Structure 1
């Protein structure tokens, strides 16, 4: 499993519109083979800062399957105009996991 992590700086005073459009855009990422789950979390210290966490079965499910899809074009259309600066996206693999 691969975790995609993106820190999203949303233009101030557009947070509510971003959250609304993100809920709509979720259908596009969920439609991609290899998608597992995602969550969007809002920063407590900086109200226009979010973190997007997406679990993928393989890296290529995101970098090829999603980014080269028609669904990604719809995702971009709904969301990319909210970011300043544009987010850096990184991918992580599990080293250790503890659950209670």
Structure 2
């Protein structure tokens, strides 16, 4: 399983609208994408305009090719993109270990 980690910064004062938009985008677009195993979203306490989005994919290609090169990506960005203060920083990770 691959972890996609997106560090998202939104425009100040847009938290309530972004919370709704990211939840809607994840539940209407992302979860229906091949290889998506689930997601988590966390909002910064000290920096409330900062969000950490974690999406779990079966393979790297499910995200980088299957999703990013599909119409679903355009749908996703239409929902959440207007809130971005800067482009998100996105990286991928392999699992090393986890709790039982």
**Matches of residues 1-100 of structure 1 in structure 2 within 5 Å?**
1-26=1-26, 27-99=28-100
Q: What is the TM-score of this pair, normalised by structure 2?
A: 0.94
Q: 1:59 deviation in Å?
A: 0.2
Structure 2 unaligned runs (5+)? Answer: none
Q: How many residues align?
A: 99
TM-score by length of 1: 0.94
- Cα deviation for residue 92 of structure 1 reads 0.1
RMSD of equivalent CA atoms: 0.9
Runs (5+) with no aligned partner, structure 1? none
Q: Give the 3-state SS of the residue equivalent to 1:20 in structure 2.
A: helix
> Alignment partner of 1:92: what SS?
strand
**Runs of 4+ in structure 1 over 2 Å off:** none
